[in-house]
Amino acid sequence: MNIIGPDALVFGVDDVAACSQYLTDYGLTPVGVTAAGGRFEALDGTAIVIAHQDDASLPPPLPTRTMLRKTVYGVADSATLGAIAEELGKDREVRRLPDGSIESTDDSGFVLGFQVSVRRTISLAAETINAPGAPAQRGANVVAASEQAVIQPRTLSHVVYFVPDTDKAEAFYIERLGFRCTDRLGGAGPFLQPAGTLDHHTLFLIKTPPFMQGVEHFTFHLGGPSELMQAGTRFVDKGYQSFWGPGRHKFGSNWFWYFNSPLGCHVEYDADMDLHDADWQPRTVPMSADASQLFLFQARDKWAPSGPPPGAAGAPPAAH
């Protein structure tokens, strides 16, 4: 089935104003946003949609504290939409909505939507580097670092679910929707890729107790690691709390920086993810901090070379 990836995530939140400000500061563009909520889009039209948790138009919540109400997948064409409806209709309700999309649930109880993708084609340059021994990607007098750089999320990358039964959840996405496992963290769960993308994953499943079921984080792709570092720094400067990062994952190779959020989950910036086709053989390693990060930085206050850095000989000890 030609599922491209998540087009939108729909949340029922307890503080619409705080979530609206957060998503705007993160870099998404408000579209039709009012005091009741609305849509926050990346450059290609993929989005986060929020409404108040009591909004009657939302799908019912899971019996946990998660605020995620629905994951909407974009598919390539109406034939794929029909095939999904036929497949899921074999053993569960499939609702046809007025906008032409369909809605159902997975085997873990998450509400899923499917629609012919709303993604817009974008054509943007990636970050460039100059490295000895390789042709220059930036010519003479082209400056890479700019405090005025405009940084916007390009596309919704992936979502991570906490689920009580990863085997059951994985089987649903592979056997019913045509996803495949690209890598696996033993004791945690699989990274899953739908057929319509080469991205390392658009869904990661993590085994947790039932009371934790929900979304752990979501993320949007940026244009490269420098954009990630700069966007994350700006986010910290606006007062948002860094949770994990910046750093680089091993599986997927994507750069990451996670933040706490008022949406009841973490929100990540990511960049430079591996691409895999059908020739790729999944790897499996035990879950650990070393398995999930190649390296990790820690955000620190700015330091300028006006004297020895904190902790150096002759300098005051670094603050803790």
Q: What is the dihedral of CA 254, 259, 260, 263, to 10 degrees?
A: -60
Distance separating alpha carbons of residues 107 and 90, to the nearest angstrom: 13
Confidence at residue 313, expressed as pLDDT on a 0 to 100 scale: 59
Confidence at residue 89, expressed as pLDDT on a 0 to 100 scale: 98
Confidence at residue 305, expressed as pLDDT on a 0 to 100 scale: 80
Confidence at residue 301, expressed as pLDDT on a 0 to 100 scale: 75
Q: Give how far the C-alpha of residue 205 lies from the chain's centroid of Cα atoms, to the nearest Å.
A: 13
> Domain locations in the chain?
3-119+153-296
* pLDDT string in tens for the chain (320-residue length): 999 999 999 999 999 999 999 999 999 999 999 999 999 999 999 999 999 999 999 999 999 999 999 999 999 999 999 999 999 999 999 999 999 999 999 999 999 999 999 999 999 999 999 999 999 999 999 999 999 999 999 999 999 999 999 999 999 999 999 999 999 999 999 999 999 999 999 999 999 999 999 999 999 999 999 999 999 999 999 999 999 999 999 999 999 999 999 999 999 999 999 999 999 999 999 988 888 898 889 767 777 786 665 555 555 554 44
Confidence at residue 102, expressed as pLDDT on a 0 to 100 scale: 98
Q: Which residue has the tokens 């390296």?
A: 295
Confidence at residue 320, expressed as pLDDT on a 0 to 100 scale: 41
Name the CATH superfamily housing domain 3-119+153-296.
2,3-Dihydroxybiphenyl 1,2-Dioxygenase, domain 1 (3.10.180.10)
Q: CA nearest 75: which of 192, 178, 170?
A: 178
Distance separating alpha carbons of residues 108 and 131, to the nearest angstrom: 47
Q: Which residue has the tokens 């039709």?
A: 32
- Residue 255's CB is within 10 A of a number of other CB atoms, namely 25
